Amino acid sequence: MKKITLGRTQEKIPIIGQGTWGISRFFKDNNYYEQWKKSLRAGIELGMTHIDTAEFYGWGKAEEIVGEVIKEYNRDDLFITSKLFPMHLSKRTMKKAAEKSLKRLDLDYFDLYLIHWPNPLVSIKKQMRVLETLVNEGKTRYIGVSNFSLEQFKRAQESLKTVELINNQLKLNIIDQEIMHDSLSYYQKNDIIITAYSPLGHKGLKDINIWLMDKLEEIAERHNATIQQIAIAWLISHKNVITIPKAFHINHIKENAEAASIKLTKSEIELFYKKDSNFILNKL
């Protein structure tokens, strides 16, 4: 699995990791959870050692499942990200939520801890102070945010005193390209990693328009790949972009991992840019 450097750190992180959004706490039997565990294990064996989760996913169930799997592996070989749900309004409750996530994961520290969404009821400055405290206490190695606009990200970065944000996790895919065109250049210039979630949309590219489907099928045939693999390869062809597709079935895990080895040409990448974009193709 190809790895890239995480921002200005010396940390190497897989360019394709594993997402866990969708793991449910309700109305599921043991077979369902065992299948998730098998898929996560398969992904780790294929080099997708970055696992992303959140306290919000399955109301903690996703963290529990991840925790059960990762204890089977060397902690130093894994990179675990979790996210703080923005319903916590005070420093005390935010820190308590982080500690509960660590307990569910059965870890002493996160590799990366994010604010899941900006909260209009809590100042960005207060949230950043909590994240900074968690770094200083050894509860997380690195910090970042998720679903923050570029302006919010800048304000968050300016609120920190001793550490830096190294990541913004954003919805980004071949359909939802706005981030790519509006703010990717800023993150690239400042050595900040964008983690693209929902790299295949919420329906696995099953609801895309005919033009896009035709182009994806054309390029997929050329590379002996699936359209989903091409969509993932397109994302990670951009500097400072990694992604965390989720997969319930092991065959999809394998396909996701294999997408890292697909090398698209500049013209193939450019083919998928939205026609109304002013994006300048010089950041690949």
> In which order are the strands placed within the sheet that holds 79-84?
18-19, 50-52, 79-84, 110-115, 140-146, 165-171, 193-197, 241-243
Residue-range domains of the chain with CATH: 3-203+240-261 (3.20.20.100)
Which residues have a catalytic role annotated? 57
Per-residue pLDDT at 121 exceeds 80 = yes
Give the model's pLDDT for residue 27: 87
Percent with pLDDT over 70 in the chain: 96
Give the model's pLDDT for residue 274: 75
- Dist CA 180 CA 184 (whole Å): 5
Per-residue pLDDT at 178 exceeds 80 = yes
C-beta of residue 253 within 8 angstroms of C-beta of residue 37: no
Average pLDDT over residues 249-270: 97
Joined together, the tokens standing for residue 154 give: 């800048």
End-to-end, the C-alpha distance of the chain in Å comes to 19
pLDDT, tens digit (0-9, with 9 covering 90-100), for 19-54: 999 999 998 999 999 999 999 999 999 999 999 999
The DSSP annotation for 190-254 comes to TT-EEEEE-TTTTTTTTT--HHHHHHHHHHHHHTT--HHHHHHHHHHTSTTEEE----SSHHHHH
pLDDT level of residue 275 (50, 70, 90 thresholds): low
Average pLDDT over residues 120-144: 96
Give the model's pLDDT for residue 173: 96
- Dist CA 42 CA 164 (whole Å): 33
Count Cα neighbours of 221 within 13 Å in the Cβ-side half-sphere. 5
- Dist CA 147 CA 107 (whole Å): 25
Q: Taking the complete model, does pTM exceed 0.85, yes or no?
A: yes
- Dist CA 168 CA 147 (whole Å): 7
What single-letter amino acid sits at 199? P
pLDDT level of residue 277 (50, 70, 90 thresholds): very low
- Dist CA 191 CA 184 (whole Å): 11
Joined together, the tokens standing for residue 158 give: 């300016």
Joined together, the tokens standing for residue 145 give: 């945010």
Q: Let me know the angle formed at the C-alpha of 142 by 42 and 256, rounded to the nearest 5 degrees.
A: 25
Q: Which residue has the higher pLDDT, 278 or 206?
A: 206
- Dist CA 259 CA 255 (whole Å): 6
